Amino acid sequence: MMTWSLAQRVQRWTTWNVLTRAMRVAVEGLENVPRSGPYILVWNHLHITDGMLLWSSVPAPTVFLATGKFEKTNPLIHAYLRGTGAILVRDGGVDRQAIKRALSALGQGSPLAIAPEGRVSTTGALRLAEPGVASLVCHSGAKVIPVAIWGQHKAHETWRAFHRPRVTIRYGAPLEYPRLPASAANLRHLTTQIMNGLARILPPQYRGVYSHCQERESSVCG
């Protein structure tokens, strides 16, 4: 079973204490998160601090998938991500090595965390998700735990007014999906199901393109 290293414990403690002094953070639904895996946490991506808040609040040692783009653009963030033990995903095309490492982590019983949208939303709500998380579910059979997080995207404007933004982290109940062949149609359908599960625990204004998917037919809803 994966455990936090001493350096990671210090990094988690520091991250949580810094962020919760800068923000008013409320955590809901931690009882939905098992102390060991395998399972996949999926969250909506509104701000660069999303992953930091989640990594420092999850109750079990969890492997995060994160972008590798900061290696060249922001060495400080890159070093932070490496310190968390994240699997850094190469930009552009399919990073098969990252997928292999993610499946290996799940196979060893470690929880995994991924933002299916792939990048920070520019609309402040859910955008179309990439099929990566659906592929991981198809190949591993792991359960999915949706995690909704909001309020942190208003941090800068709130700080300018000398206030602390109110942030909510909501862990939903584990969701289980049938283990299907990873065909394009199955990945598209499963991605929609996973994102609908995430949308259901978000306030309506953050559901974006996955609003009312169960009530209408569209290329987004699958």
pLDDT digit string, tens, across residues 102-111 = 999 999 999 9
> Is residue 194 situated within a structural domain?
yes
| Residue pLDDT, tens place only, 29-71 | 999 999 887 999 999 999 888 999 999 999 899 999 988 888 8
64, with CB counted inside 10 A (0-12, 13-18, 19+), is buried
141, with CB counted inside 10 A (0-12, 13-18, 19+), is middle
E strand segments, the chain: 24-28, 39-43, 63-67, 87-89, 112-114, 143-150, 166-171
Q: What is the pLDDT of residue 69?
A: 86
> Is residue 222 situated within a structural domain?
no
Q: What is the pLDDT of residue 15?
A: 95
Please name the residue ranges forming H helices in 46-95.
50-55, 70-73, 75-84
Q: What is the pLDDT of residue 154?
A: 79
> Is residue 98 situated within a structural domain?
yes
Looking up residue 80, the CATH number of its domain turns out to be: 3.40.1130.10
Quote the tokens at residue 197.
């599960």
121-124: long-range pairs with CB below 8 Å, 24+: 121/44, 121/45, 121/46, 121/208, 123/208, 124/46, 124/153, 124/205, 124/206
Model confidence at 120: pLDDT above 70: yes
> Is residue 220 situated within a structural domain?
no
Where does the pLDDT of residue 165 fall: very low under 50, low under 70, confident under 90, or very high at 90 and above?
A: confident
Q: Give the chain's domain count.
A: 1
7, with CB counted inside 10 A (0-12, 13-18, 19+), is exposed
Range of the domain at 94: 6-215
Which bin fits 2, alpha (ψ -120 to 50), beta or left (φ > 0)? Answer: beta
The whole-model pTM stands at: 0.90
Nearest alpha-carbon partner for 207 in 119, 112, 129, 91: 129
Q: What is the pLDDT of residue 213?
A: 61
Please report, for residues 16, 75, 156, the alpha-carbon distance to residue 195 in angstroms, rounded to integers and kept in the order given: 27, 32, 27
Model confidence at 1: pLDDT above 70: no
- The single-letter code of the amino acid at 182 is A
Nearest alpha-carbon partner for 132 in 174, 87, 169: 87
Percent of the chain with pLDDT over 70: 94
The strand pairing partners of 170, in sequence order, are 28, 148
> Is residue 1 situated within a structural domain?
no
How many angstroms separate the CA atoms of 62 and 100, rounded?
A: 16
Q: Are strands 143-150 and 166-171 parallel, antiparallel or unpaired?
A: antiparallel
Q: What is the pLDDT of residue 219?
A: 45
> Is residue 107 situated within a structural domain?
yes
> Is residue 160 situated within a structural domain?
yes
| Residue pLDDT, tens place only, 189-219 | 999 999 999 999 999 999 999 987 654 444 4
Please report, for residues 7, 58, 109, 111, the alpha-carbon distance to residue 29 in angstroms, rounded to integers and kept in the order given: 27, 11, 22, 17
Model confidence at 220: pLDDT above 50: no
> Is residue 189 situated within a structural domain?
yes
What is the average pLDDT score of the chain?
89
How many angstroms separate the CA atoms of 40 and 142, rounded?
A: 7
